Structure 1
Amino acid sequence: MTGGIASGKSLVATRLAELGAVLVDADAIAREVVEPGTPGLAAVVDAFGPEILDGEGRLDRPRLGAIVFQQPERRAELNGIVHPLVRERAAAVIAAAAEDAVVVQDIPLLVETGQQRNFHLVLVVDAPEAVRLQRMTEHRGMTEADARSRMAAQASRQDRLAAGDVVLTNSGTREELLAAVDGLWNGRLVPFARNISQGAVAARSGAPVLAAPNPDWPRQAAGLAERLKVAAPDDVLAVDHIGSTAVPGLEAKDVIDLQLAVPDLATADRIAPLLGAAGFPLWPGILMDSPHGRPDPAAWSKRLHGNADPARPVNLHIRVAGSPGWRFALCFRDWLRADPAAREEYAAEKRRMAALHASDANTSGYADDKEAWFRDVAAPGMERWAESSGWQPPSYVSTSANAAQG
């Protein structure tokens, strides 16, 4: 969880703790690690001089703040001392939490320190800058200049919002914010944590529903891809956004399809527990793509994972780099991006199939019935486009190979 100064993050954190979350408060820990007698305080004094202590030998926070919020290089120096100590203490608290606990790490500088990809979910508590400025001057006694300086020292509001999976807007009443927190806890956080602990993909049901093109789908896919790369950095060759949500202007079910490339399926099986722990459990029983009328069906083998998050459906296709299924997914996406006529033809087929299966209990019939179009129209059409355009799939070099060469 993160949020700009005076956004209301403390109120959200308090409510989450009341609901049962294990709260890891980075600000509180940051104060603890520089208490008198700690190695952290000694390191700060070495860097900034004894004048940043008060008469009782404690850190004079206003004096230190006046230095670091005016001098970015000194702020970076302070962060370099305190942040490793905070992370070490936070790790100990998290290790002691129950397996199915909802652990909320309150990190004001989450975006500034680039940590957002290390978490299952990023919650941003947000309020317009004018509202935050008013809170700081009226309730905290800051001058406007000091308040603006504190705001400028943090990530921009735009960057924080771009990092968020969930945004709680705190520009209304206290009761409205608390109600939003309660809804998030019951509807998303608790089932998400339970699914991860049980290794279960979040349940899906209902007929296929096509949504209007969402310009935010690529941003969401990029954030999910970064988490996957962190989960198994030595084995993931690439994570690509594929499927209809990767094609601008195309209607799609609100499901993000990602393709994770691996050297071989043995690697896919070995990293499955790591992906599950990161929030992407294996979807058992789906081991092969439809070969779309091509020979050698075994060459289309894959592993399919989903998302444990009930509010963000994801299909994670794990395929061997260079395999037919891997190539088909990338070529099909790029063909639709490049060819408006092909894109519209596919959109029409999707609409026809969605109407045909509008009363279904799930989307399996919709997916199965599209296979004829993939075989008879998509496969030959995209191959003609690939040949005429000179399209080639990407070439990957594994991280481990790079390390060995280095």
Structure 2
Amino acid sequence: MVGLTGGIGSGKSAAGARLAELGAVVIDADRIAREVVAPGTEGLAEIVEAFSDRVLDADGALDRAALGAMVFSDEAARRRLEAITHPRVRARTAELAAAAPADAIVVNDVPLLVEVGLAPTYHLVVVVQTAVPIRLARLARHRGMDRAEAERRIAAQADDARRRAAADVVLTNDAGLAELHTEVDALWHERLLPYAANLRERRAVRPPRVELATADPAWPQQYARLAARIRHAVAPADPRIDHVGSTAVPGLAAKDVIDIQLAVPTLADADGPLAERLAAAGFPRLPGEWWDSPRPAGSGRWEKRLHGSADPARPVNLHIRAVDSPGWRYALLLRDHLRADPGRRAAYLLLRRELAASAPESTTYATATDPCFDEELLRAEVWAAQTGWRP
């Protein structure tokens, strides 16, 4: 399930059309929005009741331009309209998605995906982004919209920064249709097709080699999107979810893998329905037994469950640990200690770089970092005692 969005005039529909040519099942929210307010529908009757028959044309159909002029400059009126149309659009969208083949890549083309908070409901969100002057020119050329009305429409939607925050993929559509098609084709073949195959096989992406990447300021935002999907997948439960590991420490070079910790009352709660819901949301369980190395050594295993990501472009380690267990506590302690102490952060990074160079294979690297981890945890415990830190 892919959410596709973009501001008015961005070319979102052109991207959706290309995805349909490639084989996606595209569900157009705008088309559905017109269907649910067609003449004779309950939706149209409610709109007339709310806004008067001034929103009807001479044939008794909805005059979308007249209605738009009423609502795009009036937030209360827009919300009243959305309360009528959005539930109907969602219901019809769900029907069409359920009717798609089991192995389909379903693309939901939703203009207001970000505004109404739908991003966590998709495996991937794709945003088509175009510079505002180009959008204004397109709206004038293709829709005959005057500049003032086009600017009002653009201002009524989320801005580019808000859309980018929700986007797993940004397609830039400033150059023209040929360039946009090239971007869409690459997305389809390099990400969507393998992602769909991984979902069907409940297969997670595991990078085989350790390569420390320069700290990426986008890591926290990527974590936030992933955590929102996880939270949506496990609702109505509301577990504690944390960004842990090196990508959770600002300025620290790290493997480009987002580490997430999900707390459960007991590990038994991590099995069964929870594991399947996470897998369906794009976070399959990794086979085998997983545990954290005990501190001190020889004190038994700290068991956990480990899930990964089916998205080939965004590796994830999803650690499921019992709340208040030692492994859960230490993941939070080391993160907060390194966040608080720039000097220790630099020393820790230096040692990690040396270990990564000498043991690049992931499993070897994990074993080799144990002494490094032990030493830093001792320092972290001292810091916790001095500061009164609690998880």
> TM-score band (shorter)?
over 0.9
Distance in 2, Cα, partners of 1:254 & 1:225: 17
1:366 and 2:365 matched: yes
Structure 1 runs of 4+ with >4 Å offset: none
- Which residue number corresponds to residue 118 of structure 2? 115
Distance in 2, Cα, partners of 1:220 & 1:62: 38
- Which residue number corresponds to residue 386 of structure 2? 388
Aligned residues: 387
- Which residue number corresponds to residue 6 of structure 1? 9
1:16 and 2:19 matched: yes
Instruction: Specify which of 298, 304, 307 is matched with residue 306 of structure 2.
Output: 304
Q: TM-score of the superposition, structure 2-length normalised?
A: 0.96
Per the alignment, do residues 295 and 356 of structure 1 end up closer, same or farther by CA in structure 2, a change over 3 Å counting?
closer
Asked if the contact 1:236/1:260 (under 8 Å) is kept, the reply is no
Instruction: Specify which of 32, 37, 50 is matched with residue 35 of structure 2.
Output: 32
Return the letter of the residue paired with 2:389: W
Distance in 1, Cα, partners of 2:363 & 2:373: 15
Cα shift at 1:294: 4.3
Distance in 1, Cα, partners of 2:73 & 2:238: 41
Q: Any idea what SS the aligned residue of 1:301 has?
A: strand
Cα shift at 1:236: 4.3
Asked if the contact 1:99/1:197 (under 8 Å) is kept, the reply is no
Q: Any idea what SS the aligned residue of 1:366 has?
A: helix
Asked if the contact 2:129/2:170 (under 8 Å) is kept, the reply is yes
Asked if the contact 2:206/2:315 (under 8 Å) is kept, the reply is no
- Which residue number corresponds to residue 313 of structure 1? 315
Consecutive unaligned residues of structure 2, counting only runs of 5 or more, are: none
Distance in 1, Cα, partners of 2:144 & 2:109: 24
User: What does 1:226-375 align with in structure 2 at a 5 Å threshold?
Assistant: 226-270=228-272, 271-294=274-297, 296-298=299-301, 300-358=302-360, 362-375=361-374
In angstroms, what is the RMSD of aligned CA positions? 1.2
Return the letter of the residue paired with 1:25: D
Per the alignment, do residues 235 and 288 of structure 1 end up closer, same or farther by CA in structure 2, a change over 3 Å counting?
farther
Instruction: Specify which of 134, 140, 146 is matched with residue 131 of structure 1.
Output: 134
Q: Deviations over 1:11-34 (max 9, x none)?
A: 100000111111111000000111
Asked if the contact 1:235/1:262 (under 8 Å) is kept, the reply is no
Q: Any idea what SS the aligned residue of 1:152 has?
A: helix
Cα shift at 1:203: 4.5
Q: Any idea what SS the aligned residue of 2:54 has?
A: helix
- Which residue number corresponds to residue 203 of structure 2? 200
Q: Any idea what SS the aligned residue of 1:167 has?
A: strand
Cα shift at 1:295: 5.2
Return the letter of the residue paired with 2:309: N
Cα shift at 1:378: 1.6
- Which residue number corresponds to residue 402 of structure 1? none
Q: Deviations over 1:17-64 (max 9, x none)?
A: 111111111000000111111111111111111221111111111111
- Which residue number corresponds to residue 59 of structure 2? 56
- Which residue number corresponds to residue 88 of structure 1? 91
Cα shift at 1:71: 1.4
Cα shift at 1:384: 0.8
Consecutive unaligned residues of structure 1, counting only runs of 5 or more, are: 394-406
Return the letter of the residue paired with 2:147: E
Give the share of equivalent positions with the same residue, in percent.
52
Q: Deviations over 1:220-243 (max 9, x none)?
A: 101111111111124442110000
Asked if the contact 2:263/2:322 (under 8 Å) is kept, the reply is yes
